[in-house]
């Protein structure tokens, strides 16, 4: 099983600041099948990034993903009020599919 | 517009059974693999089970293998999760999610809450 570790656990920032979230895998993620999801309280997760760096349909360009192998990053260039949420990485290339524990981005 | 609507959640006693449904609309359901994901209260996301577009291939997390069964009826545009021998640790919101091949899981339902308690 590929274990995903996300850091930091919580990121306290102000609107307009840059957010950098990390996701590290215990072994190489197949074909960069790494996705990022955003989840707000009481809502279902929303796909942001797939294939490590491709934005999903309708996702603003302030969200970007990078990385390969075992180290991946989600960057939010300038935080908007609606971006404060929990972010999960997921690897979907190897069964069992696994999620990271999440990074909460909250308002400083 | 693609919509996924889960139903069937509720209160069930330990050792009991429950069947969840996920009704899909706005898409050619038979073209997409589907998954179930759960989220225990205050916790993160856990993949539960997946099924291919035809239903011919299924996968399960170790935590539910042998107790849960995923299936689909493409004529009814519906995904199912049969949950047997449920345990307290199965308490969670259960989401269905549509797979866009190679492009992550791009549509999720709103979730249905399963509570296992006596």
Tokens of A35: 């996705």
Q: What is the DSSP letter of A38?
A: E
Which residues does chain A have within 8 Å of residue B95's beta carbon, measured at their own beta carbons? 44-45
Of the candidates B49, B4, B9, B6, which has an alpha carbon nearest to the alpha carbon of residue B29?
B4
Burial (CB count <10 Å: 0-12, 13-18, 19+), residue A20: middle
pLDDT tens by residue, A13-31 = 999 999 999 999 999 998 7
Tell me the β-bridge partners of A52. none
pLDDT reported for residue B102 = 84
Of the candidates B62, B63, B64, B70, which has an alpha carbon nearest to the alpha carbon of residue B97?
B70
pLDDT tens by residue, B12-32 = 999 999 999 999 999 999 999
For an interface test with A, the pick among B105, B110, B111 (most A C-beta atoms closer than 10 Å) comes out as: B105
pLDDT reported for residue A31 = 73
pLDDT reported for residue B2 = 95
């Amino acid at each position: 099983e590929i274990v995903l570790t996300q850091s930091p656990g919580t990121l306290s920032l102000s609107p307009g600041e840059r957010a950098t979230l990390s996701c590290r895998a215990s072994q190489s993620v197949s074909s960069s099948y790494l996705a990022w999801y955003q989840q707000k309280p009481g809502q279902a997760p929303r796909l942001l990034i797939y294939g490590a760096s491709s934005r999903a349909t309708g996702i603003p360009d302030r969200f970007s993903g990078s990385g390969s192998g075992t180290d991946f990053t989600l960057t939010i260039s300038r935080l908007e009020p609606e971006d404060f949420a929990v972010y999960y990485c997921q690897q979907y290339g190897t069964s069992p599919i696994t999620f990271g524990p999440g990074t909460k981005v909250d308002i400083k | 517009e693609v919509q996924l609507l889960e139903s069937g959640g509720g209160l069930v006693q330990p050792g009991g059974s429950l069947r969840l449904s996920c009704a899909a609309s706005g898409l050619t359901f038979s073209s997409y693999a589907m998954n179930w994901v759960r989220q225990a209260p205050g916790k993160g996301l856990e993949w539960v089970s997946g099924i291919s577009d035809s239903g011919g291939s299924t996968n399960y997390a170790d935590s539910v293998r042998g107790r849960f069964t995923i299936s689909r009826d493409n004529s009814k545009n519906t995904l199912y999760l049969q949950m047997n021998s449920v345990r307290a640790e199965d308490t969670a919101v259960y989401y269905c999610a549509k797979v866009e091949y190679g492009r992550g899981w791009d549509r999720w339902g709103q979730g249905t809450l399963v509570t296992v308690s006596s």
